[in-house]
Amino acid sequence: MNSFTRDVIRLASQRSVSARNDGVEECSVLVEKMLVEIGAETKVLRRDGAAPLVYGELKSTRSKKTILFYNHYDVQPEEPLDLWKSPPFKPEVRDGKLYGRGVADDKGELVSRLKTVESYLKTVGEAPCNVKFCFEGEEETGSVHLHHYIEDNPELFKSDAVVWEFGTVDATGRPTVTLGVKGMIYLELVLRSLEADAHSSYAAVLPSAPWRMVRLLNMLKDKDERILVPGWYDAVEALSEEEVRVLDEQPFDEVSFRRIHGAKDYVSQMTPSQVKKALVQRPTGNIAGIWSGYQGPGSKTVLPKEVHCKMDFRLVPEQDPAELLEKLRRYLAANGFGDVEIILESMEPAARTPYTDPFAQAAIRAAETTYGQKPRVDISSPGTGPLYLFTRRYKVPSVDIGVSSEESAIHAPNENLGIENLRMGMLWVGETMELFAAS
């Protein structure tokens, strides 16, 4: 086992579930220690009620340019435990893969950046350019304090380019360069109809909170998945000719995509070409969880007093989360649901780097050099992260490149990281640094 894998195991063995503040502080201490071990100058930023942000910096005389690596050391909850083949926080190597919670998202990526820079220090004495590390502990809960850290310490996070948290190779081993992320509004809807649960026989005369929620949700989207809130699509722009060309050229193994996700078909019977465009430029309205009433074994005839529904709305560039949230409030009120409580958990706008940007092109060329084939270029990830805090504030480009794969089971049981993907991804990041520093 190489030292890179051992360090991923070391970090992934430390719990850091931000959703329940399980081991987050202890993990931040370990992350700072790992930064110190490679020779970085460190700072641990703190705020009341927030997870620590671990910052590191290394200077180089080879270039005046600075690359900032953003990663997070927190992870998703490990449940359901019964589906894991090995304990989630006792990482285990099987058949060339490392299994454990966080080995791909995002501790493997975090370690890969540290070890890439360390490799330069041990071989040539310094990195190709100046390097900054921004490792936060709340990404999996919406990065709710990251903007405060940046506002309080604006000079720390200045750079010429950002390497974002993750990167993938597809099912065929082809690397993927991703140039942005969608935005998101994450909220909880709470609808109450009674002061206490009632006997279900009274459903003949008493209002049902779950049925009202069903009617509410039914008026949010039509059968073709289009969101019905007035004005929701006003700011959505068509893809540019260059973006359409890149998407058309993008390889897409739609059979493998459906197989990985266990899907028989796409919504609205989309074609593979439409799927590629939707993942980049189609806003979504997703029910992430819904619960009410009795959910135990056997029967309990109950009329629930309330119902809860968690939703995430993915957004594309130019859509304003705050503006859309207000449109949603007005829409619900106008349709008889003004009493519904909306609990906002997080929101952030989309961010995207142009395909023609020199940093994007450096990552693309580096992928060709490292893997011996042209990478897939994703105009945007269908996922979300606080990328806008860097790209908008500092007006810098960003790319997602790294060591994970489409089959890493991120956020799921048996999350995994291929050992060879780890090695190749590190070479890719290093080559990108070299090309950008020399450009």
Q: What share of the chain is helix, strand, coil (3-state, %, to 5)?
A: 35, 25, 40
- Distance CA(417)–CA(157), nearest Å, equals 29
Specify the pLDDT at position 2: 85
CATH class of 183-236+283-348: alpha beta
Specify the pLDDT at position 250: 85
Which residues of the chain fall below pLDDT 50?
none
Please tell me the pTM assigned to this model.
Answer: 0.85
Task: Report the DSSP beta bridge partners of residue 43.
Answer: 55
Specify the pLDDT at position 254: 86
CB atoms within 10 A of CB 175: 27
Of the candidates 33, 34, 32, 12, the residue with the CA atom closest to the CA atom of residue 23: 12
Question: Apex CA 390: angle with CA 239 and CA 438, to 5°?
Answer: 85
For residue range 45-81, list pLDDT tens digits in order. Answer: 999 999 999 999 999 999 999 999 999 999 999 999 9
* Helix (H/G/I), strand (E/B), else coil: 57: strand
* Helix (H/G/I), strand (E/B), else coil: 424: helix
Domain with CATH 3.30.70.360 in the chain: 183-236+283-348
Specify the pLDDT at position 439: 86
Specify the pLDDT at position 212: 98
Mean pLDDT score of the chain: 95
CB atoms within 10 A of CB 128: 22
Specify the pLDDT at position 163: 98
What is the architecture of the domain spanning 3-179+353-438?
A: 3-Layer(aba) Sandwich (3.40)
Burial class (CB in 10 A: 0-12, 13-18, 19+), 425: buried
* 90 CB-side CA count, 13 A: 5
Specify the pLDDT at position 257: 85
Domain with CATH 3.40.630.10 in the chain: 3-179+353-438
